[in-house]
Amino acid sequence: MSRLKYGWWLPLLAAFVVFPLVEKNPTYTTIGVFTLIFMGCAASWNMFSGYSGYINLGAAVFYGTGAYTMTLLSNHLHVPGSGDQFWLVPVGGLVAMIVALPFGLIALRVRRHTFVVITIAIFFVFQLSAINFSFTGGTSGLSLPLIPWLVTNFNTPFYYIALGIVIFATLLSFAVRRSRFGLQLLAIRDDEDRASGLGVKVFAVKLTGFVLSAFAIGMCGALYAVFEGQIYPQFVFDPLFDISIALMAIFGGLGTLVGPLLGALVLESMQQYLTLQFSNSSLYLVLFGALFLFIVLFMPQGVVVYVRDLWTRHSLASDDDSTSMDPALSGSTLS
């Protein structure tokens, strides 16, 4: 059972590792890098919001913080554009965590639906600050040291670092899911008052999860900054980023391990491809919104859970052995 359950990760991982070796067209490897960046963000976002039920629509704060940390540090420390900047990627994640602490202290004081609204508000504080402060370069943004690599190989290091972040975020999410801490997050999602009554330190648990989820998102933002070579406040602090990763996670299955990865893989690659084909982002907005509405109305628990339920029903019909369901894992989705 467990071999069947985890065995399919390996070929999938192999496919991701091999992709840039097979596909040499920079257009498509660029799509690959962006898709992986979003997969990392969605997996990390899900680790807090999916498990605890506190939907964070201000995750772009972490992303933008990572991007600005990378840009400002590499400019002020005069890091040459030779790949040395990659060492600053984890720093971007750490600074995002530091920013997440006061953010969480304020936003987590309230219950879920108000939390969502406050995260949106705090997000706009950051976006406006990035536009208004002088050290961020305002709306004209900031550029990073130029990386003098050939176009043909330019994407490869970014691709593998992004893949590393995705693997890290997934393993962390898995570890949290299996830990006592993860169960406390799930208990908060299911009934916060009862969890509190049973001795879960709800505020501390929520804050820890919130800060922890900032790390990988901050790293993704830092990597994005190096990849683009130029950042603008309206693109690194983008309200569409907030909603996109939430939709990706829900598309795949909120609170599941694979769901956000699948959601980001499908939706981000689709967006990049459509933008490339039609150079019309408005059309994408319509499709994206419509697809999401379809998912919510017909598969409210996400594609992964929908397929798993179909599969379970199928195997239940063939043999009556329903005892092998792991209650801890089968309860991993929002009802």
Separation CA 119–CA 73 (nearest Å) = 27
Asked if 227 and 86 count as a contact pair (C-beta separation under 8 A), the reply is no
How far is CA 11 from each of CA 6, 14, 28, 230, 260, rounded to the nearest angstrom? 11, 5, 21, 35, 19
Tokens 């772009």 correspond to: 60
Shortest separation between residue 308's beta carbon and another protein, angstroms: 18
Strands (E), the chain: 142-143, 230-231
Amino acid at 92: G
Q: Is residue 178 a contact point for another protein (CB under 8 A)?
A: no
CB closer to another protein, 13 vs 240: 240
Shortest separation between residue 290's beta carbon and another protein, angstroms: 6
Amino acid at 43: A
Query: Which range, of 69-77, 202-210, 281-289, 319-327, touches another protein by CB under 8 A?
Result: 281-289
Query: How many secondary structure helices (H) and strands (E) does the chain include?
Result: 16, 2
Which of 113, 178, 201, 313 is the binder for another protein (CB under 8 A)? 113
CB closer to another protein, 147 vs 270: 270
Q: Is residue 235 a contact point for another protein (CB under 8 A)?
A: no
DSSP state of 149: -
Using CB under 8 A as the criterion, what x/- string covers residues 67-106 for binding another protein?
Answer: ---------------------------------------x
Number of residues interacting with another protein: please give it, by CB under 8 A: 47
Q: Is residue 288 a contact point for another protein (CB under 8 A)?
A: yes
How far is CA 68 from each of CA 33, 138, 151, 194, 278, rounded to the nearest angstrom? 19, 12, 25, 40, 31
Q: Is residue 198 a contact point for another protein (CB under 8 A)?
A: no
- Binders of another protein among residues 146 to 165 (CB under 8 A) are none
Separation CA 209–CA 270 (nearest Å) = 30
Which of 42, 116, 245, 248 is the binder for another protein (CB under 8 A)? 116
Q: Is residue 124 a contact point for another protein (CB under 8 A)?
A: yes
Which of 5, 24, 111, 313 is the binder for another protein (CB under 8 A)? 111
Q: Is residue 15 a contact point for another protein (CB under 8 A)?
A: no
Token pair of 186 as six digits: 């799930």
CB closer to another protein, 54 vs 224: 54
Asked if 135 and 232 count as a contact pair (C-beta separation under 8 A), the reply is no
Which of 297, 321, 322, 323 is the binder for another protein (CB under 8 A)? 297
Asked if 321 and 312 count as a contact pair (C-beta separation under 8 A), the reply is no
Q: Is residue 317 a contact point for another protein (CB under 8 A)?
A: no
Task: State how beta strands 142-143 and 230-231 pair.
Answer: antiparallel
Residues within the interface to another protein (CB under 8 A): 53, 55, 57, 106, 109-114, 116-118, 120-122, 124-125, 128-129, 131-132, 191-193, 239, 243, 246-247, 250, 280, 282-290, 292-293, 296-297, 300, 334-335
